[in-house]
Amino acid sequence: MQEFLVVVNDEEQYSIWAADAEPPAGWQPTGHRGTEQECLDHIDRVWTDIRPKSAR
């Protein structure tokens, strides 16, 4: 089963990334790791305002 990381960018937008790959430039791991669904569920809980930080 593939593991994923939850990553976040400077605009506080969240995504998931394969744990065995380096996140793309501008994205940092949040410390949450799990299955694809576990990571998506985590994002649903923590990303309550999907507007980019600069638009808030």
**Helix or strand (DSSP H, E) at 49:** none
The structure tokens 């998506």 sit at 40
Residue 18 φ/ψ, nearest 5 degrees? -55, 130
How many residues does this entry show for the chain?
56
Its pTM stands at 0.91
Domains of the chain: 4-55 (3.90.820.10)
1-41 tens-digit pLDDT? 899 999 999 999 999 999 999 999 999 999 999 999 999 99
Half-sphere exposure of 20 (CA within 13 A, CB side): 4
CA 20 to chain centre: 15
39-54 tens-digit pLDDT? 999 999 999 999 999 9
CA 7 to chain centre: 3
